[in-house]
Amino acid sequence: MLAFSPILNAYVQSDLFGKFIFFMLFVLSIISWVILLHKIYMAKKLTALNAIFEKQTKNSENLLSINITSNISYPYLDIYKSLKEKTVQILNKNRFFITDNKNVYMSTSDIELLDSHLDVQILKQTKKLEKNLFILPTVVTLGPFLGLLGTVWGILITFNTLQSQSLLNSNASILSGLSMALATTVVGLMVAIPALIAYNYLKNWIKNFRNDMTHFSHELLTTLEIQYRHVDLK
């Protein structure tokens, strides 16, 4: 509490515009922390759900017959549903051209089509994970600039006081201006530094998560290829 008392005193002693700068910095700090905590919660939840579903796919004998009971949307499940839908479309298309009762298979071009389809789905899931993430680098940039604005404004108030009043009567105003100038700089950095750390952490997590989705997609595609790809033994 003592560490924040100089900042609190600077806020109380500042003018209306100075209070507005403090308020904007406070809002930026709240926004960045809300985004960080929400993303961390989402990361833990999605990681747990993905692990459960990945285990379910590995234990399934037929990849297209997995029973989906969850109504919650998460990356691995969405990727699987999209892949299953596309695979069924391809198999139905191939079945249309079969004249006898032979089993239906997929060609090499069908597998390549599914691979491209999975890449698109991974990109969609990545965009979902990156939603609102642009706010953090905005806070990183805007925080110090608001702090600098407060610094310049506080110094401007100080010089204006020196010119308009006697030194004896202006001590309080001078100290108030200098206090606001220094405090807004400190608060601006206190807002920007955690936001920068949070942004780098989340970007690295999303990168690793995308690699996990790619690995999971390749496992699904490999399983489908083993089960449904046509092999000519002649």
DSSP assignment of 72-121: ---HHHHHHHHHHHHHHHHHHHHHHT--SSPPP-B-HHHHHHHHHHHHHH
Residue 99 has a pLDDT of 60
Burial environment of residue 153 by CB neighbours within 10 A (0 to 12, 13 to 18, 19 or more): buried
Token duo for residue 15: 């003018």
d(CA 89, CA 95): 10
Token duo for residue 70: 């969850």
The end-to-end CA distance of the chain, in Å, is 81
Residue 164 has a pLDDT of 66
d(CA 24, CA 170): 28
Strands (DSSP E) contained in the chain are none
Residue 92 has a pLDDT of 86
CA neighbor of 29 nearest in space, from 143, 150, 184: 143
Residue 171 has a pLDDT of 64
Report yes or no: 223 and 59 within 8 Å, Cβ to Cβ: no
Residue 140: Cβ within 10 Å count: 21
Residue 231 has a pLDDT of 56
Q: For every one of its 234 residues, what pLDDT tens digit does the chain have, with 9 covering 90 and above?
A: 445 577 888 888 888 888 999 999 999 999 999 999 999 999 999 999 999 999 988 888 888 888 887 788 899 999 999 999 999 898 888 777 666 656 777 888 888 999 999 999 999 999 999 999 999 999 999 999 999 998 898 888 887 777 665 555 556 666 777 888 888 889 999 999 999 999 999 999 999 999 999 999 999 999 888 887 765 534
Report yes or no: 51 and 59 within 8 Å, Cβ to Cβ: no
Phi then psi for 98, rounded to 5 degrees? -90, 130
d(CA 135, CA 28): 9
Report yes or no: 11 and 129 within 8 Å, Cβ to Cβ: no
Residue 2 has a pLDDT of 46
150 CB-near residues (< 8 Å, 6+ apart): 18, 21, 22, 180, 181, 183, 184, 185, 187, 188
Residue 234 has a pLDDT of 42
Residue 67 has a pLDDT of 81
